[in-house]
Structure 1
Amino acid sequence: MQGWERYRDGKIKWMHKTYQKVPGKEGKPDVYNGIIYEVTERKETEENLAKVEIARKKEVHHRIKNNLQVISSMLDFQAENLEDERTKEILRESRNRIMSIAFIHKELYRNRKLSNVDLSTYLRVLAENLLDAYEIRDFRINLYIWKLKRKFF
């Protein structure tokens, strides 16, 4: 069993307690035998490692997001400086793929758990971004997404 105790000086000490009941013999009362270990340093180290891990993950996700944005911007810049329409279109399609990857990454990072990703919201935003990216302005196109009451993961 693990818990904490507050000492007179106000400090909190984490303790790990192990005990067992020893039955009494010949009418004697039962007694308890146990050991108490102070584990404050271990507990603080675990908490600090957890904080470092969270900070590391935030930094990795931030770098991924920035790198994808840089790639997207470079493709935009290259497309602007070209005259060949087919090459421009290829660069725009590449940029759209990069932005789709960035969006997936953002959703996964935001939700932290794969089982919490709202697929209908993701598909709606992705479809809207693709329609905008490909400059599709046909008002005959309607997007319908129904939410299923089913868990996939």
Structure 2
Amino acid sequence: MREINLIVIHCSATRADRDITAQDINAAHKVMGFSSWGYHYYIRKSGRVEPMRPLDEVGAHARGYNAKSIGVCYEGGLDTNGKPADTRTLPQQIALHALVSKLLKQFPGSRVVGHRDLSPDKNYNGIIDPWERVKECPVFDVLKECWE
């Protein structure tokens, strides 16, 4: 098993009134040139967790961080008008917390971050300010949620 020290949370950037399956993401990632889906897990609006890439395979979800990370993506991230919004359903929130808790037990000492938290800290203040974000993904503050 490879060394893991980071769990990166993503959203699928899908409108709240639309559905996107793991297979849809796989097809999109292949069009982008990946061998298969870039994430290790996908959480549907229903709260169902779908395994994607095996954990022993390096993901394709956070450039520069893939080698030692696990990518977790949830369905959603845009409101019905296509604007960034925390669209997680209660079942998704419960499933996400359960999955991350399990991963933290399996990979103790790992940090949990949102994809946006890996943006460059352009003013070097130790905080990724909203104006520095390359993406809004996952559209909620991962660093403020309790993951234990």
Structure number with higher relative contact order (C-alpha < 8 Å, ≥ 6 residues apart): 2
Q: TM over 0.5: same fold?
A: no
The structure in which a higher percent of residues are helix is 1
| TM-score category of the 2 structures, normalised to the smaller one | under 0.3
Larger radius of gyration, structure 1 or 2? 1
TM-score (norm 2): 0.25
